């Protein structure tokens, strides 16, 4: 089983990853799934291998990445193609893309964003965080199809023309989510013989390629075109990787790279003086989030339970959820705070993060909550079990029925046990899900694809989970 660590450029990084690498190596060896092969790349590779991996013999191979190799990554020019972007949409995909683009620029990589604009008031050309954004005018989002087919066709024409005219301004095409909007970018990238990457948005129910294939008339054609012309697929969860294999995508075109977040600086956290537990939920209030089950589970807690729930976010289900909370007598215990620009002040005051979603990719809200030491109680959707270790750094419910029992368990935890789980959550995010790590892994993938050339779609996978 290939297992590649990121470049180690300091003693601190080497020590940070030693425990993670060791645990994964022993787990692969004990499970005897495949022969273990670990490649440690970095200027301090000798420190890691000599001190910690001597017991593995020739199963560990170390190689230095010199300054020339690092500098080569900085010359890459990346075109990011999105179906929606700020200021017209504020979802998790847009937030992740914004952080990623900023991380690329900070690393010396040139990044440009290509996205639609649905409103006349949205500028055609602007910049956010130093990243230029080019927007193409449409009447509807380019991934919808159906009665919005003209918008999709207009997007196709505009994207292909834009990419052909600016072919000398980018080296790699990186598509965010493999929905219908990915078709022209994948096709133009292939015509220009440039590497095309597609990062999948959701696994399981709502998996990107399933949604595309179900489109009337053009669905099967569009799905086949994406699968044929995308050089490499980025999966941020094991479920998404499995969904890609179900669609016939070879393992050597699937690259496991998780989402990343900017790690916050943690202030001193104080428990509530009255001993109450503070629960928080954040995200869009849309049907797939199934917040009605969360509110029902909260209502099933003992009447004397000292528990408060704050729900951050807005969406089409808000009015119905507020009515449900009032009907169940929860008006004094459940607060709908609406959309907020900065969620961290709320997270610092929370004990537990709740999610009852049935469809995810890898939840940014979950990563943010855990980075603040908030213990998650989540349903077992795509990405959840990749992040949360059940009963160690949080709780993972296999059903909404089981979810009620986990809420009760959380209420019964001692302060010391809750704090211990919170610390495990923080360590998990710091070691595996920082934006710096995610950006560096994707930069290495860019470099590998450019080195191999688009004539071959076979590139060594970057596996960590």
Average pLDDT, the chain: 84
Residue 95 Cα distances to 101, 342, 359, 413, 425, angstroms: 10, 12, 18, 33, 21
| Domains of the chain listed by start with CATH number | 75-256 (3.40.50.2000), 277-433 (3.40.50.2000)
pLDDT at 463 over 70: no
Contact 93, 259 (CB under 8 A): no
Q: What CA–CA distance (Å, rounded) separates 363 from 174?
A: 20
Write down the pLDDT at residue 25.
52
- Does 32 have pLDDT greater than 60? no
CA dihedral 433, 435, 439, 440 (to 10 degrees): -70
In this structure, how many other beta carbons lie within 10 angstroms of the beta carbon of residue 319?
A: 11
Contacts of 116 (CB under 8 A, 6+ apart): 83, 84, 135, 136, 137, 138, 141, 142, 155, 181
Q: How far apart are CA 313 and CA 285, in angstroms?
A: 6
CB 157: neighbour CB atoms within 10 A?
Answer: 11
User: Quick one: what percent of the chain has pLDDT higher than 70?
Assistant: 80
Residue 304: predicted pLDDT: 87
Gap between the Cα atoms of 33 and 77, Å rounded: 38
Q: 389 is written with which tokens?
A: 């270790």
According to the model, what pLDDT value does residue 428 have?
94
Q: Distance (Å, rounded) from C-alpha 32 to C-alpha 27?
A: 8
pLDDT band (50, 70, 90) for residue 21: low
- Orientation angle between helical segments 364-371 and 92-106, nearest 10 degrees: 70
Is pLDDT of 37 > 90? no
| Residue 158 CA neighbour count, 13 Å, CB half | 18
pLDDT score for 230: 98
Residue 392 and residue 19: Cα distance in Å, rounded? 16
How many angstroms separate the CA atoms of 156 and 191, rounded? 14
Distance between CA atoms of residues 145 and 141, nearest Å: 9
Q: What tokens appear for 137 in the block?
A: 């005018």
Each residue's pLDDT tens digit, 249-272: 999 999 999 999 998 876 566 667
Nearest to 131 by CA among 117, 145, 111: 111
pLDDT band at 124 (very low <50, low <70, confident <90, very high): very high
pLDDT tens, position by position, 320-365:
999 999 999 998 899 999 989 889 999 999 999 999 998 887 899 9
Q: Which two tokens stand for residue 276?
A: 């109450």
pLDDT tens column, 426-437: 999 999 999 999
User: What pLDDT band is residue 73 in, cutting at 50, 70 and 90?
Assistant: low
Q: What is the pLDDT of residue 119?
A: 95
Res. 8 pLDDT band, cuts 50 70 90: very low
Q: Report which of residues 367 and 456 the model is more confident about.
A: 367
Model pTM score = 0.80
Whole-number Å distance between alpha carbons of 334 and 197: 42
410-451 pLDDT, tens digit per residue, is: 999 999 999 999 999 999 999 999 999 999 999 999 999 998
* Beta carbons within 10 angstroms of residue 164's beta carbon: 11
Whether 162 contacts 136, CB under 8 Å: yes
Cα 302–Cα 306–Cα 307 angle in degrees, nearest 5 = 90
Q: What is the largest CA-CA distance in the chain?
A: 66
> Phi and psi for 217 in degrees, rounded to 5?
70, -60
Helices 149-165, 182-191: inter-axial angle, 10-degree rounding? 30
Confidence of residue 71 (pLDDT cuts 50, 70, 90): low
pLDDT value at 197 more than 50: yes
pLDDT of residue 75: 81
Segment holding 137, helix H or strand E: strand 131-137
Asked if pLDDT for residue 80 goes beyond 90, the answer is yes
How sure is the predictor about 93, in pLDDT bands with cuts at 50, 70 and 90?
confident
Residue whose pair of structure tokens reads 């191979």 in the numeric block:
61
Judge whether residue 175 has pLDDT over 50: yes
Confidence (pLDDT) at 448: 92
């Amino acid at each position: 089983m290939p297992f590649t660590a990121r470049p180690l450029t300091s003693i601190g990084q080497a020590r940070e990853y030693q425990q993670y690498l060791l645990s994964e190596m022993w787990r692969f060896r004990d499970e005897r799934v495949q022969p273990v092969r670990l490649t440690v790349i970095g200027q301090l590779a000798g420190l890691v291998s000599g001190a910690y991996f001597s017991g593995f013999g020739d199963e560990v191979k170390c190689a230095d990445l010199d300054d020339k190799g690092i500098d080569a990554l900085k010359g890459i020019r990346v075109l990011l193609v999105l179906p929606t972007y700020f200021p017209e949409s504020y979802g998790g995909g847009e937030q992740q893309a914004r952080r990623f683009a900023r991380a690329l620029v900070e690393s010396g990589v040139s990044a440009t964003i290509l996205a639609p604009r649905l409103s006349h008031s949205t500028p055609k050309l602007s910049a956010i965080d130093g990243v230029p954004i080019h927007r193409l005018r449409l009447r509807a989002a380019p991934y919808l199809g159906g009665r919005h087919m003209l918008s999709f066709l207009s997007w196709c024409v505009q994207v292909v023309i834009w990419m052909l005219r600016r072919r000398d301004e980018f080296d790699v095409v990186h598509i965010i989510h493999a929905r219908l909007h990915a078709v022209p970018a994948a096709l133009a990238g292939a015509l220009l013989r440039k590497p095309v990457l597609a990062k999948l948005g959701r696994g399981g129910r709502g998996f990107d390629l399933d949604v595309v294939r179900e489109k009337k008339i053009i669905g099967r054609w569009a799905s086949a075109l994406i699968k044929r012309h995308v050089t490499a697929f980025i999966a941020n969860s094991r479920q998404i990787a499995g969904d890609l294999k179900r669609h016939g995508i070879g393992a050597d075109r699937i690259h496991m790279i998780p989402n990343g977040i900017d790690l916050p600086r943690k202030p001193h956290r104080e428990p509530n003086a009255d001993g109450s537990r503070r629960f928080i939920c954040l995200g869009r209030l849309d049907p797939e989030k199934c917040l009605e089950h969360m509110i029902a589970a909260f209502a099933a807690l003992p009447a004397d339970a000292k528990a408060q729930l704050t729900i951050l976010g807005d969406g089409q289900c808000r009015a119905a959820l507020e009515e449900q909370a009032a009907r169940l007598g929860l008006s004094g215990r459940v607060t709908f705070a609406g959309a907020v620009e900065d969620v961290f002040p709320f997270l610092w005051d929370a004990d537990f993060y709740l999610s009852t979603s049935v469809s995810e990719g890898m939840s940014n809200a979950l990563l943010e909550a855990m980075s603040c030491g908030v213990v998650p109680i989540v349903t077992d959707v795509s990405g959840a079990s990749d992040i949360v270790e059940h009963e160690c750094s949080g709780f993972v419910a296999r059903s909404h029925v089981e979810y009620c029992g986990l809420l009760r368990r959380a209420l019964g935890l001692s302060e010391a046990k809750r704090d211990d789980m919170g610390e495990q959550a923080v360590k998990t995010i710091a070691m595996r899900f920082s934006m710096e790590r995610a950006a560096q892994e994707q930069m290495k993938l860019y470099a590998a694809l450019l080195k191999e050339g688009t004539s071959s779609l076979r590139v060594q996978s970057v596996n960590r989970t």
